[in-house]
Structure 1
């Protein structure tokens, strides 16, 4: 923390559709909480996707994952949620005016960033941290292009399990879901996992 301002030196920001959160999300959040003094995450609506559960429910699922990690510097902050990254960064800057904002994305999003709304302003306001995802190799040309536009791109040395929310939605598999989510998933009968679990031995 900055003693003079009472602010962290940096804040890692990670938004996700959390549809549903996976073991990969859990691993990433755990890695971020070890690397940065403050981490904030939120569930978001992606205008280019259809979602399997309402935003409020996905936020509750993400909250369950965060609570299970028990990291004091990690918290869900739904006030940061917006379809536009620039809105999120502006809100974060009002909360932590003295901190460096680190906007975390998976390597699958690298090709999209240059088409985001106000890309140059986004790159000016934050450091961009890229997390490698299996099946989405890092594109050095994309990183170079972002840096030429004024970006400060870093690749995080985190090992994330090869899990994807879309795969769970297509083929429900209890082994890919963090155990903290089961009470809500079963109560709400989300993502077809209740019927899937009924055909398997109880999880321990």
Structure 2
């Protein structure tokens, strides 16, 4: 797997692990935003031990790959070898993959409260720089960030605007208007997330934030 501009040793790598259950317009906006901030963004689908998933990991990885391929940005790759239910293991894999790079672990504001409860949270924060991305509907509170700082976080809040299109919304009430266009044929073909019978036109053609 080659890196952007042919480099095999990027100085900074942003890591974005996600359940991708399924990838939404929020995922698309986040990945696009990250490529404007970092020379290399590596994403991967993973199992979250605190969640129940609506599709197998292999399916979610394929959907995320379709999204990455659709974005066609040389700064963005999918590296499924980084996937692990434990973030610390993903970071260790990334350290082996890019031994000279500074690793930036990207976390949505909806998961900020969870991170201190993750396996080896202190080890996670010691192994990377933490980039928190605000999401609509999950405002950041000063005490949340202070708790991470007390655990040893070197953190920044990225100035990105991510729409409130959550995967949970899609699972609970399937709506093609919340899903990137490149995923819809796969979702309909395999009857995933209740989208097999949804129309091909209408709201999806007029969706915002693209």
TM-score norm. by structure 2 comes to 0.90
SS in 2 for 1:75: strand
Unaligned ranges ≥5, structure 1 = none
SS in 1 for 2:145: helix
**In angstroms, what is the RMSD of aligned CA positions?**
1.7
- The runs of at least 4 consecutive aligned structure 1 residues that moved more than 6 Å come to none
Distance 2:138 2:203 in 1: 34
Alignment-derived partner of residue 86 in structure 1: 88
Unaligned ranges ≥5, structure 2 = 206-210
Over 3 Å counting, the alpha-carbon distance change for 1:203 and 1:165 in structure 2 is: closer
Distance 2:58 2:91 in 1: 21
TM-score norm. by structure 1 comes to 0.93
Alignment-derived partner of residue 208 in structure 2: none
Alignment-derived partner of residue 167 in structure 1: 169
Q: Please report how far the alpha carbon of residue 164 of structure 1 lies from its aligned counterpart in structure 2 after TM superposition.
A: 0.4
Alignment-derived partner of residue 46 in structure 1: 48
Q: Please report how far the alpha carbon of residue 148 of structure 1 lies from its aligned counterpart in structure 2 after TM superposition.
A: 2.2
Number of residue equivalences: 200
Q: For 1:110-125, list aligned pairs within 5 A.
A: 110-125=112-127
Alignment-derived partner of residue 20 in structure 1: 22
SS in 2 for 1:57: helix
179, 182, 191: which one aligns with 2:181: 179
Alignment-derived partner of residue 147 in structure 1: 149
Contact 2:176 2:203 in 1 (8 A): no
Comparing 143-152 with 176-185, which one deviates more in the overlay?
A: 143-152
